[in-house]
Amino acid sequence: MIELENVAYSYGGGDLLNDISLRLQPGSFHFLTGPSGAGKSTFLKLCYMELIASTGSVQVFGQDARAMERDQIALARRRIGVVHQDCQFLNHLSVAENIALPLTVAGRDVNSEMQNLTDLITWVGLKNQQNSLPPQLSGGERQRAALARAVIMGPDVILADEPTGNVDWEMSQRLLSLLIELNRMGKAVLVATHDLNLIRTAKNQISARVLRIKDRRLQLAGADL
């Protein structure tokens, strides 16, 4: 689905990532950890083609990211759901309207998708907040809305950048449960996180690989987590 081979990314005259290789396959679950500034967010951006590798190969659904035209990138991104760390919404639109935005951008009729939208909002536990405006939401509600928006198009891959970074432990567990459920539906999931307790909890529930970025390279984390 997404495959990086010997990828390097340079920023500010030096390598931020070097010799990175990973294959995200259907139904796989990966955690990505490492210190702040190690390149976790950059790694995710390479996966959904916001950034292009300096060297090496990034294949997205069988296509070379470097050779893809803008419309091809747009189509490929519809198959990748991204939960951003900053959770930006349009504050003049309701929660439901914000979640439905990817449908609108893709030119799909939101009215014909209303049942799916309602089911998704209920699934993330925001039925009572669907008509609220984003500033009225708590941090955990914003994260759940961001997850719903990321999966509204039925993507094959979910990339989440610190999805539990600004919520309490109980909400972290709830978000983790939603990600695990998506994975059990066959989605490939990659979660970048500092939260080692979250990773330990997840490993008791699913088979997940834990990767660490260290010294600009990607390595399999040891049993010390």
Banded pLDDT at 222 (limits 50, 70, 90): low
Q: Which pLDDT score is estimated for 225?
A: 59
Q: What are phi and psi of 64, to 5 degrees?
A: -75, 115
Banded pLDDT at 203 (limits 50, 70, 90): confident
pLDDT digits (tens, 9 = 90+) for 52-108: 999 999 999 999 999 999 999 999 999 999 998 888 899 999 999 999 999 998 888
Structural domains present in the chain: 1-79+155-162+188-225 (3.40.50.300)
pTM for this predicted structure: 0.92
What is d(CA 175, CA 48) in angstroms, rounded to the nearest whole number? 21
Give the contacts of 97 (CB within 8 A, at least 6 positions apart): 90
Q: Does the pLDDT at position 119 exceed 90?
A: yes
CA–chain centroid gap for 212, Å, is 17
Q: Which pLDDT score is estimated for 107?
A: 87
Average pLDDT, the chain: 92
Query: DSSP state, 77?
Result: H
Strand 188-192 to strand 157-161: parallel, antiparallel, or no bridges (unpaired)?
parallel
